[in-house]
Amino acid sequence: MKVLEEKPWTTEATCKGCGSRLEVEAADVRAVEFEISDCDHTSYSCKCGVCKTDIELEAGKIAPGVRDEAVKRWRKSRKSRW
């Protein structure tokens, strides 16, 4: 398949800290992997550009490729700490 026009992924979010409406781009999405009761979980968030409050994002509203890239950045950042 040939992609004729790629549209960048975005979603909207509202900051609970200051009430700003934000357009979240793929590079803004952060992932955190953790374990609860022997089950692996991943949460996604972004940081408000106005007040810097963390905003939780629903995984179902994030494109799979964007989630994958966020997880890769998370894992890379974890490795660089050691």
| Domains in the chain: boundaries | 11-81
User: Is the pLDDT score of 82 beyond 60?
Assistant: no
User: Is the pLDDT score of 28 beyond 90?
Assistant: yes
Q: From CA 57, how far away is CA 78, in angstroms rounded?
A: 21
Confidence of residue 36 (pLDDT cuts 50, 70, 90): confident
Burial of 69 (0-12, 13-18, 19+ CB in 10 A): middle
- For residues 25-40, average pLDDT: 88
> At a CB cut-off of 8 Å and minimum separation 6, what does 44 contact?
29, 30, 31, 32, 56, 57, 58, 59, 62, 67, 70
- Do residues 79 and 72 lie in contact, with contact meaning Cβ atoms separated by under 8 Å? no
**What pLDDT is attached to residue 66?**
96
